[in-house]
Chains A and B, each alone.
Chain A
Amino acid sequence: MQMSKRTVQFKIYRYDPDKDDKPTMQDISVELDPTDKKLLDALVKLKAKDDSLSFRRSCREGVCGSDAVNINGVNALACLTDVDSLSQPIVLRPLPGLPVIRDLIVDMTQFFKQYHSIKPYLINDEPPPERERLQSPEEREELNGLYECILCACCSTACPSFWWNPDKFVGPSGLLNAYRFIADTRDQATNERLDDLEDPYRLFRCHTIMNCVAVCPKSLNPTRAINKIKDMMVVRAI
């Protein structure tokens, strides 16, 4: 589709703790070139106009996970969102549920704390073989839909359970990653991993609201991973 020059209206959450007492919503518009297709292209143009607008971005192709923001009420990556698909004014806010540092930049400490808490690394204490550990294509396929997580936090910050208990509930992203290691035939710590999650908060705060599935920019399904973990706990208990 050939797009033309057009002016796009925005309402953007602005807060600079260095000078502002409280956040405000800024009305601002920008003229886009035909080549400006994604929301991130528009943000870059806006920043050329007002260099104080602050946001994270890096790869601009949906693999680094930097530019997750709340767009018209929905968490998504700015670099993968077609600007012309959005109703105007386009309302941009930082990801909900995390402390705001400045403008669209949130403090992700709590999110990463939960990720780190699931021991996100392969545990296998046997001396490694000289060559690769073998894994059949079918066993490897179990990791599809799990290992692709880009840690953008769209899912966890769309989850009401994570909003209420970000310190206790691992959240959809962390749990998806936990299952990524549980599902890996090379990992030997399944029992310890399940023990760690068998807790009223860490896992069981998930009430299958499924916001995580709706917003994941990589089309991953944390709810399915969470259910598989729950199933394994049931099987283990019998």
Chain B
Amino acid sequence: MNVAKRTFDAVIVGAGGAGLRAALQLSEAGLRTAVLSKVFPTRSHTVAAQGGVAASLGNTTEDHWHWHMYDTVKGSDWLGDQDAIEFMCKKANEVVIELEHYGMPFDRTDNGKIYQRPFGGHSMNYGKSPVMRSCAAADRTGHAMLHALYQRNVRAHTQFFVEWMALDLIRDAEGNVLGVTALELETGEVSIFHSRATVFATGGSGRIFYSSTNAFTNTGDGLGMAARAGLPLEDMEFWQFHPTGVAGAGVLITEGVRGEGGILRNAGGERFMERYAPNLKDLASRDVVSRSMVTEINEGRGCGHDKDYVLLDITHLSPEIIMKRLPGIREISIRFAGVDPIKAPIPVVPTCHYQMGGIPTNFKGQVVHPRHGNPGTPVHGFYAAGECACASVHGANRLGTNSLLDLLVFGKSAGESVVADFKAGDLDLKPLPDDAADRSLARLARLESQKKDGNAVHDVRLAMQRTMQKHAGVFRFKDLLKEGVTAILEVAESAKSTYINDKSKVWNTARQDALELDNMIEVAKATMISAEARKESRGAHVRDDAPDTPEHPNGRDDQNWLKHTLWFSADNHLEYKPVHLKPLSDDVEPIALAKRTY
């Protein structure tokens, strides 16, 4: 197959929030930049974020970045790197104000400032009481943000390659990253994007689970590419199950609903979160709320015919507040739950939502890997930001509104790092190896020549999703995890012989599905194997054989497991690296280890 070659200073893969924020940095600095996206930029999944973006602006209640940092470290169950968390919380005001200057239509307070609402796990005074930190545009914050970022890029003349799917990362023999191969969906042609710098902003992979709030396109493409190219994935055992997905449909209902006063109730009408989190109640951290809900359901206090969901109640709020602050939620609820939340509560269940782990990076957005005894060695020419990256600011559990903040802060810092490295002359255009496109071409050729007795993509994907749902859900069990490893490796084996009937060159979505499945399989293996190996409970990873004891509060074992997991695709090999417990500067003391309660 003939492979065209294009050369750029920088290639950004993904045009969601992180990719667009990084692109701005590069376009405005005058670097020749290509932004690849398999969907038109405003279709990226950032668009679905609802409740807000965290920043300690203090527009309504007093706030400080120190408090935000404390909440984030505690929310991460101390697995987050404190240098990266300090960096993010300190930068929050700057990146949110920038966005306002770009034209983002934030809601406003009476004195004209950005409107802020309370959110789960965000507090004043180190956990004392809820704080108003979430900067919001009604319940469409992600939509407003993604469009504002795209619009700013239109102004900056960023060059987009829309509906191009990146296939594989190109590395040379020394391990330097030299760009990607990519498939143009409309023509089916493969090209090499040869670049000095490659930035991954490919988002999450929540579609590896059966029940997910995520878009169809969230297939972990960046993670799959990195894993196939020999780079590790970090902390993949940590998945966030959002407490409030619409029961049955999985569509997200923002935590902002509880921020505006919404209450979770069981079949008896009880506000059960009072028992689990006496202080922050319904606004406790997401992992805590999701587990409480599942416990209620498991103990027979669920609602409905099968007692398999709980209720999110806002009927006590005034219709005006609901129409003004939560109009999108009302729309979703009517359309997907058949319920007008002004009149009746919404049926909800915990639903897979966010990948805390990802491609390991530092706070500058540089991808790092273990080399010569240093787990923080940058990979030359490679950067990542947003949900595909693991900086790690979310550790074992992410706070709501910190994802939009993450993609702004680290999208910008990855962009700044590329520009700085470029200007310093560190980013020479290294020669492409002869086999640069071979891996991608081999994958395509395999699909093309697969015999008809191969496995349908649809069936393998479903098997993967059901395996992940059963074996790596909200609560985890020693035996199920063990069986889950065997099961997911079997699914991975069957994915090697997927068959597609459609052989067209033009816009072949069957081929795209098969290529995406390859990526999801890498993520699924990483998740199951990392989860089976971590013999403690921490944040979103809670196992039956690591219960709450005086010696190990909440089942957390800091002595043995206060460390990041690194999974390598080759041989499913695991390594570990230390958590950065030291903040970046002397402006703040390290947040000392403590038991997590809300």
Contacts and interface: CB of A to CB of B under 8 A. Distances in A.
A64 B39 contact: yes
Contacts of B215: 58-60, 64
A132 B508 CA distance: 45
A121 to B, nearest CB: 4
Contact of A134 (B40, B47, B111, B335): B111
A128 B99 CA distance: 11
B155 A121 contact: yes
A34 to B, nearest CB: 9
B154 A120 contact: yes
A17 B43 CA distance: 26
B112 A18 contact: no
Given A61-B332, A122-B103, A136 B112 contact: yes
Interface stretch (A23-31, A142-150, A158-166, A199-207): A142-150
A132 B507 contact: no
A140 B107 contact: yes
B510 A52 contact: yes
B504 A16 contact: yes
A147 B147 contact: yes
A63 B138 CA distance: 14
Interface residues of B, number: 61
Contacts of B351: none
Contacts of B97: 130-132
A1 interface: yes
A74 interface: no
B506 A18 contact: yes
A61 B100 contact: no
B102 interface: yes
Interface string B324-341: 000010011001101000
B395 to A, nearest CB: 27
B572 interface: no
A121 B151 contact: yes
B501 interface: yes
B551 interface: no
Contact of A59 (B43, B106, B144, B331): B43
Contact of A62 (B113, B114, B186, B335): B335
Contacts of A35: 248
Interface in A48-70: 48, 50-52, 54-66
Nearest to A185: B112
A16 B506 contact: yes
Of the candidates A1, A47, A64, A135, the one having the most CB atoms from chain B within 10 angstroms of its own CB is: A64
A186 B103 contact: yes
B253 to A, nearest CB: 11
A62 B186 CA distance: 24
B510 A51 contact: yes
Given A63-B143, A122-B102, A134-B111, A54 B507 contact: yes
Contacts of B148: 122
Nearest to B500: A51
Contacts of A103: 507
Contacts of B186: 101
Given A48-B458, A116-B154, A80 B216 contact: no
Nearest to B214: A59
Given A58-B217, A122-B151, A132-B106, A102 B42 contact: no
Contacts, number: 150
Max chain B Cβ within 10 angstroms of own Cβ: one of A58, A101, A132: A132
A175 to B, nearest CB: 16
Nearest to B138: A144
B92 interface: no
Contact of A64 (B42, B107, B338, B513): B42
A153 B328 CA distance: 20
Interface in B213-233: 215-217
B320 interface: no
Interface in A100-127: 101-103, 105, 108, 112, 116, 119-122, 124
B174 to A, nearest CB: 37
Interface of A is mostly: loop
A218 to B, nearest CB: 8
A61 B251 contact: yes
B501 A52 contact: yes
A18 B504 contact: yes
A52 B500 CA distance: 9
A64 B47 contact: yes
A58 B46 CA distance: 12
Contacts of B47: 59, 63-64, 150
Contacts of B251: 60-61
A103 to B, nearest CB: 8
Contacts of A122: 101-103, 148, 151
A64 B43 contact: yes
Contacts of A186: 103
B453 to A, nearest CB: 16
Nearest to B137: A147
A236 interface: no
Nearest to B505: A18
A19 interface: yes
A121 B101 CA distance: 11
B151 A134 contact: no
Contacts of B216: 57-60
Interface in B492-544: 500-502, 504-510, 513
Interface string B30-52: 00000000011011110110000
Interface string B136-153: 010010011001100110
A147 B113 contact: no
B105 A147 contact: yes
B447 to A, nearest CB: 12
Given A62-B335, A132-B113, A148 B502 contact: no
B24 to A, nearest CB: 11
A17 B507 CA distance: 10
Contacts of B338: 1
Interface of B: 39-40, 42-45, 47-48, 97, 100-103, 105-114, 137, 140, 143-144, 147-148, 151-152, 154-155, 186, 215-217, 248-249, 251-252, 328, 331-332, 335-336, 338, 456-458, 500-502, 504-510, 513
5 contacts: A16-B506, A37-B249, A130-B97, A137-B108, A137-B109
Instruction: Give me the 10 closest cross-chain CB pairs, A-B, nearest first.
Output: A122-B103, A134-B112, A51-B510, A52-B502, A121-B151, A64-B43, A48-B458, A18-B504, A121-B155, A128-B101
Interface of A: 1, 16-19, 35, 37, 47-48, 50-52, 54-66, 80, 101-103, 105, 108, 112, 116, 119-122, 124, 128, 130-137, 139-140, 143, 147-148, 150-151, 181, 184, 186-187
Given A47-B509, A137-B110, 16 more contacts: A17-B506, A37-B249, A48-B458, A54-B509, A58-B39, A59-B215, A59-B216, A102-B504, A102-B507, A121-B103, A128-B101, A132-B113, A135-B112, A140-B105, A181-B103, A184-B103
